[in-house]
Chains A and B, each alone.
Chain A
Amino acid sequence: MNVFIRKNLLRLIILIVLAGLFVAAAAGMESQDFLITLLRGLSVGSLTFLVASGFSLIFGLLDVLNLAHGTLFMIGAYIGWTVYVRSDTFMDLLTPLALILSGFLLRDVWSLLSTRLPAAGRMKRILPWAGILVSGLILFSVLRNYPIAIWDVGDYAQSPVSISYLASQGQNVQPPPATFETISPLMAFAGLIAGSLLLAFSLSLFGAGKQAEASRITWRSFTGFAAFLLAGIIFFIFNNLFTAFLAGLNTNWLFLIAVLVAVGSGAGLGALMETTLIRPLYIRPIYQLMLTLGLSAIGIEMVRAVWGRPEFTMPRPELFAGTGEGCPATSLAGWWQYHCSTMMLMDGRIRVFNEIFIPIIGVVVLVAVWILLQRSRLGMIIRAGVQDREMVEALGINVRRVFTQVFALGVGLAALGGVLAAPSIGLSNMMGESFLLNALIALAIGGLTSYPGAALGSLLVGLLQQFIIKYGQIGIAIPFTEIVFKPSPPIVPASIILLMVVVLLILPNGLLGKKE
């Protein structure tokens, strides 16, 4: 016990000082104000944690500072919004997406073909680029007539998503959204499939010769392709049926679907990013900063191109949206009965989704990822890799695959954070950036590569921020004087940064980080 105290003296002193501050902050305000602020802090802390935990896993294992993490958080929110609010657009998107992806599932065929290709010398170098160009042209000419996005760089404000959204709000919009009818569906199908096949083949040509050997082609090689093709066709034929089904669905289930889709596509995006862009840069770590910054700018502009300019709001699911009879609820049972959006707790009015649901999800994710890290084989490899990557590689573990999985996991968590944040803070293009900065600060406070540190840091950041905001409203009476100090809005980000600087100067590795 003595040894423990002596080793962690600084850490304990900081924690005691923080606890003291917390108590002082609690004493300075009324109990219902305190409760609301506490819950809000927990809510912001949970969202920050969802960004920070993925960031820290990626940084710990891969040594990549993924500055595009905030953008991926934002993309998750937008995907969730599309599924939840515009499920018809979502169904329209599924067909081309499935068809384009289908070509990439014929990996065995491509690797065999590329080794058998007789072309040599210059042809071999030109062929892949020509293939990409041609397939790009085909896909472009088909997708141009498909109501997903206007690829007119001069004019974003009129993207089809925002047009259809405005139309559904009962506003008169010009022009009406284009439909698939401008080219025949058969042509479009053929174009999408041909483009996808050609693209996948030409991309595989780049790696030709690097692969060890082509595996044999069996019927299994075609199953993925066939499944996606079939899915694309089914989605197209029964588009109206699915749309009607989704539209008629209870919004609670729809929200669940939105969360799942957002997390899944976030994980997919992460895996794609890692395998194609990040992987060549492990030997040049500094350039990852530039790459991820560039990707972040691209991501924001892509979202602007697809979703248009306006900032959206996302209605809360039914379970949290009730008003009227019996609301605000006085207890959890009352909330369950009337599905109230707010409830009274110790005379304070709190929003159930923001201040109760999000922290609960935060805790659930915290525990789930903790179990994953502690109890599964993947978690074991991750923890070992964070400690010493070379040793894990030397033991013959395929670290590459684990890297991809961890990147996908991290981005998936960020996307989950985004879709959860959407109903409470609304969607905008820049919503991710402040969360990224918060997460970075939280990680610095808690310890950059430590998972419990990410949780503790996020909690501190969320609480401190909310308490300062609250005190900005009611003011702090400075003892022995008449002055009431009201922190102005710019002090909110500065306060958490100051906390970070103080903690880092005393403990350079953060509160829970290990010494190098």
Chain B
Amino acid sequence: MAKDTLFSTLKQNQGMLFTLLVFILLPFVVGLFNGASPAQVWLNESGHSKFIQGLAIEIFILALYALSYDLIFGFTGLLSFGHSMFFAVGAYLTGILLKSFGFSLAATFGMLFLAGIVQALLFGMVLPRVKGITFALVTLGMASVFHVLVISTELGEYTGSDVGLQGVVVPAFISPASERLRLYFVTLTILILVFLLYKRFVNSPTGRVCTAIRENEGRALMLGYNTFFFKLAALMLSSLTAALAGGLHTIYQPIVSPNVAGLGYTVTALLIILIGGVGTLNGALVGAVVFRLLDYGLRRYIGESASFINGAIYVAIVLFLPYGIVGTWKLKSMNLRQGWDRLLGMLNTASKEK
């Protein structure tokens, strides 16, 4: 019996498992294509494989960040323009603690946890007061104040003002230069764990109430839910994830540019989940892959006019994939399935009549 349920869960999630397998094998396969044996890849000796791993790590971090935005925007319906602050606080805090205060990695991540909670409470403070687009603008304001703090010359000793934080020394056992494969698997594991946690959260009663708040907050209030606490819970989980993503960003790239605190980086998250599909967890992952690869590919092969084609692709996605890649695909596949059912039903009745 237990075996059967295990088998059926495996079968239900075969797409996910397949993707996971692809990502586990990716560094080795890329190595093989360039004539490096898996052993060499294991010892971080294949340059090309390392490069691909780096790209994948960036995608994982973007995916974490996009997941966190999808939770508050796609599932709870809170439009925030200050989301980059969550990420930037994580990135800067990790860098500063490691560099200037000599914290250990564990202590740093402990502080990240605290910072995540504090930020969520900060955004939560204005939640009861402002709604909709006004909330977006107030959060934009908070994020801009943080951006100014980061680039101000007064704190330049710690943040490196507008040059960015540089020269963070990452502990050797996870260093992106010598132990990249390990970092790759650590980021992948974190992404998987966070994804599973999010899946659990979204399907839990709490997550259902969040979806209800998105659909109609008044009605959720009428049903007796204190929507403030549910929104705060979603914000907190989202802020923790984004801070974690920021921390990983600093570990992978020992440079933190002040751009991650700006409005542009929030727009990145928004674009990713719009590409993937708002309100779908898979969408955030697919969106992150598409976004990063598009950006990288266009910049590499087209150069100057990359953002022109990028913009054209966004417009095309909006027009031709109306609910994002995953969202539109879900709708289409549902239609297909309905069509098949209908067809089979017709055939059945036809054969019975004979």
Binding site for B on A (CB under 8 A): 65, 153-156, 277, 280-281, 284, 286-287, 289-291, 293-298, 300-302, 304-305, 437, 440-441, 444, 448, 488, 490-491, 493-494, 497-498, 500-501, 504-505, 508-509
Give A310 Cβ to nearest chain B Cβ, in Å.
15
Q: Enumerate B296-315 residues with CB–CB distance to A below 8 Å.
A: 302-305, 307-308, 310-315
Give complex CA distance A304, B303 in Å: 14
Give complex CA distance A290, B317 in Å: 9
**The 9 residue pairs across chains A and B that have the minimum distance between CB atoms:** A297-B311, A294-B314, A301-B308, A501-B141, A298-B311, A494-B148, A294-B311, A294-B315, A153-B305
Q: Is the CB of B141 within 8 A of A498?
A: yes
Q: A290-B317, A301-B308, A508-B131 are in contact. List 19 more A-B contacts (CB 8 A).
A: A153-B303, A153-B304, A281-B318, A286-B274, A287-B274, A289-B270, A289-B274, A291-B314, A291-B319, A294-B314, A294-B315, A297-B307, A301-B305, A304-B305, A493-B144, A497-B145, A501-B138, A501-B142, A504-B141
User: Given the complex, which residues of A lie within 8 Å of B126, measured CB to CB?
Assistant: 505
Give complex CA distance A430, B304 in Å: 16
User: Given the complex, which residues of A lie within 8 Å of B319, measured CB to CB?
Assistant: 277, 280, 291
**B134 contacts chain A at the CB level, 8 A cutoff:** yes
User: Given the complex, which residues of B lie within 8 Å of A491, measured CB to CB?
Assistant: 148, 152
Q: Is the CB of B308 within 8 A of A444?
A: no
Number of A-B contacts (CB under 8 A): 113
Q: Is the CB of B305 within 8 A of A156?
A: yes
Give B158 Cβ to nearest chain A Cβ, in Å.
16
Q: Is the CB of B314 within 8 A of A293?
A: yes
Q: Is the CB of A509 within 8 A of B314?
A: no
Q: Is the CB of B129 within 8 A of A505?
A: yes
**B278 contacts chain A at the CB level, 8 A cutoff:** yes
Q: Is the CB of B271 within 8 A of A290?
A: yes
Q: Is the CB of A298 within 8 A of B270?
A: no
Q: Which of B142, B154, B270 contacts A290 (CB 8 A)?
A: B270
Q: Is the CB of A504 within 8 A of B314?
A: no
Give B147 Cβ to nearest chain A Cβ, in Å.
8
**B130 contacts chain A at the CB level, 8 A cutoff:** yes
Give complex CA distance A416, B203 in Å: 51
User: Given the complex, which residues of A lie within 8 Å of B263, measured CB to CB?
Assistant: 437
- 14 interchain pairs (CB within 8 A)? A153-B303, A156-B304, A277-B319, A284-B322, A289-B270, A291-B319, A293-B314, A295-B315, A298-B315, A448-B133, A494-B145, A497-B140, A504-B141, A508-B134
Q: Is the CB of B303 within 8 A of A301?
A: no
**B267 contacts chain A at the CB level, 8 A cutoff:** yes
Give complex CA distance A285, B228 in Å: 25
Q: Is the CB of B130 within 8 A of A504?
A: yes
Q: Which residue of B lies closest to A301 (CB)?
A: B308
Give complex CA distance A448, B136 in Å: 13
User: Given the complex, which residues of B lie within 8 Å of A295, measured CB to CB?
Assistant: 311, 315
- Contacts A293-B267, A493-B144, A497-B145; A505 near B138 (Cβ below 8 A): yes
Q: Is the CB of A287 within 8 A of B318?
A: yes
Q: Is the CB of B304 within 8 A of A154?
A: yes
Give complex CA distance A488, B151 in Å: 11
Q: Is the CB of A286 within 8 A of B278?
A: yes
**B190 contacts chain A at the CB level, 8 A cutoff:** no
- Contacts A294-B311, A508-B129; A444 near B322 (Cβ below 8 A): no
**B168 contacts chain A at the CB level, 8 A cutoff:** no
Give A120 Cβ to nearest chain B Cβ, in Å.
23
Give complex CA distance A296, B314 in Å: 11
Q: Is the CB of A277 within 8 A of B145?
A: no
Q: Which of A280, A448, A498, A509 contacts B145 (CB 8 A)?
A: A498
**B137 contacts chain A at the CB level, 8 A cutoff:** yes
Give B278 Cβ to nearest chain A Cβ, in Å.
6
Q: Contact mask B47-88 → A, CB, 8 Å, 1/0?
A: 000000000000000000000000000000000000000000
Q: Is the CB of A301 within 8 A of B144?
A: no
Give complex CA distance A297, B314 in Å: 10
Give complex CA distance A301, B311 in Å: 9
Give complex CA distance A497, B263 in Å: 13
Q: Is the CB of B307 within 8 A of A290?
A: no
User: Given the complex, which residues of B lie within 8 Å of A300, measured CB to CB?
Assistant: 307
Overall SS of chain A's interface: helix
Q: Contact mask B307-339 → A, CB, 8 Å, 1/0?
A: 110111111011100110000000000000000
User: Given the complex, which residues of A lie within 8 Å of B145, measured CB to CB?
Assistant: 494, 497-498, 501
Give B110 Cβ to nearest chain A Cβ, in Å.
30
Q: Contact mask B267-279 → A, CB, 8 Å, 1/0?
A: 1001100100010
Give complex CA distance A305, B312 in Å: 15
User: Given the complex, which residues of B lie within 8 Å of A305, measured CB to CB?
Assistant: 305, 308
Q: Which residue of B lies closest to A502 (CB)?
A: B141
User: Given the complex, which residues of B lie within 8 Å of A498, measured CB to CB?
Assistant: 141, 145
**B153 contacts chain A at the CB level, 8 A cutoff:** yes
Q: Is the CB of A444 within 8 A of B315?
A: no
Q: Which of A155, A287, A497 contacts B144 (CB 8 A)?
A: A497
- Contacts A277-B315, A286-B274; A500 near B148 (Cβ below 8 A): no
Count chain A CB atoms within 10 A of each CB in B131, B137, B267 and give the residue with the most: B137
Give B291 Cβ to nearest chain A Cβ, in Å.
12
Give B161 Cβ to nearest chain A Cβ, in Å.
9
Give A148 Cβ to nearest chain B Cβ, in Å.
17
Give A82 Cβ to nearest chain B Cβ, in Å.
20
User: Given the complex, which residues of B lie within 8 Å of A277, measured CB to CB?
Assistant: 315, 319
Give B166 Cβ to nearest chain A Cβ, in Å.
19
User: Given the complex, which residues of B lie within 8 Å of A441, measured CB to CB?
Assistant: 137
Give complex CA distance A488, B304 in Å: 33
Q: Which residue of B lies closest to A444 (CB)?
A: B137
Q: Contact mask B103-147 → A, CB, 8 Å, 1/0?
A: 000000000000000000000001001110110011011101100
Q: Which residue of A lies closest to B323 (CB)?
A: A284
User: Given the complex, which residues of B lie within 8 Å of A289, measured CB to CB?
Assistant: 270, 274
- Contacts A490-B148, A497-B145; A440 near B137 (Cβ below 8 A): yes
Q: Which residue of B lies closest to A289 (CB)?
A: B270
Give complex CA distance A302, B138 in Å: 33
User: Given the complex, which residues of B lie within 8 Å of A296, measured CB to CB?
Assistant: 311
User: Given the complex, which residues of B lie within 8 Å of A508, measured CB to CB?
Assistant: 129-131, 134
Count chain B CB atoms within 10 A of each CB in A281, A493, A504 and give the residue with the most: A504
User: Given the complex, which residues of A lie within 8 Å of B142, measured CB to CB?
Assistant: 501
Count chain B CB atoms within 10 A of each CB in A277, A296, A444, A491 and give the residue with the most: A444
Q: Which of A65, A154, A286, A302 contacts B308 (CB 8 A)?
A: A302
Q: Which residue of B lies closest to A441 (CB)?
A: B137
User: Given the complex, which residues of A lie within 8 Å of B307, measured CB to CB?
Assistant: 297, 300-301
Give complex CA distance A254, B248 in Å: 57
Give B70 Cβ to nearest chain A Cβ, in Å.
12
Give complex CA distance A287, B267 in Å: 13
Count chain A CB atoms within 10 A of each CB in B133, B270, B311, B323 and give the residue with the most: B311
Give A188 Cβ to nearest chain B Cβ, in Å.
26
Give B345 Cβ to nearest chain A Cβ, in Å.
27
Q: Is the CB of A291 within 8 A of B148?
A: no
Q: Which residue of A lies closest to B154 (CB)?
A: A488
Give A453 Cβ to nearest chain B Cβ, in Å.
13
Give complex CA distance A291, B320 in Å: 12
Give complex CA distance A305, B317 in Å: 23
User: Given the complex, which residues of A lie within 8 Å of B302, measured CB to CB?
Assistant: 153
Give complex CA distance A281, B320 in Å: 11
Q: Is the CB of B318 within 8 A of A294?
A: yes
Give A468 Cβ to nearest chain B Cβ, in Å.
12
- Contacts A156-B305, A289-B270; A500 near B137 (Cβ below 8 A): yes
- Contacts A290-B274, A488-B152, A505-B129; A298 near B312 (Cβ below 8 A): yes
User: Given the complex, which residues of A lie within 8 Å of B134, measured CB to CB?
Assistant: 444, 448, 504, 508-509
